[in-house]
């Protein structure tokens, strides 16, 4: 699970999301939902994150916005 979390530390910080053992699964589910991949499919999720959100500043801002929205729920 969440094989890509270590690569997203700056994104989480920017979104104001603190990853803890208690919320890690919820964050992971939210990210899978954001990119539209099946839950627990880490390689597909990481690939989609890189392709859709981490290739541009606009994509990064969109990911941060979506994570903030998910965290607010």
| Predicted structure pTM score | 0.90
Q: What are the boundaries of each domain within the chain? A: 5-72
Backbone angles phi, psi at 19, to 5 degrees: -85, 125
Cβ atoms within 10 Å of 14's Cβ, excluding its own = 15
pLDDT in tens, 28-51: 999 999 999 999 999 999 999 999
**For position 2, what pLDDT does the model report?**
67
Q: Percentage of the chain with pLDDT > 70?
A: 97
């Amino acid at each position: 699970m969440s094989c890509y979390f270590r690569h997203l530390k700056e994104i989480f910080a920017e979104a104001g999301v603190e990853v803890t053992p208690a919320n890690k699964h919820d964050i992971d589910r939210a990210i899978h939902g954001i990119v539209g991949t099946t839950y627990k499919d880490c390689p597909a999720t990481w690939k989609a994150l890189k392709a859709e959100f981490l290739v541009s500043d606009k994509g990064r801002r969109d990911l941060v916005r979506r994570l903030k929205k998910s965290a607010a729920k």
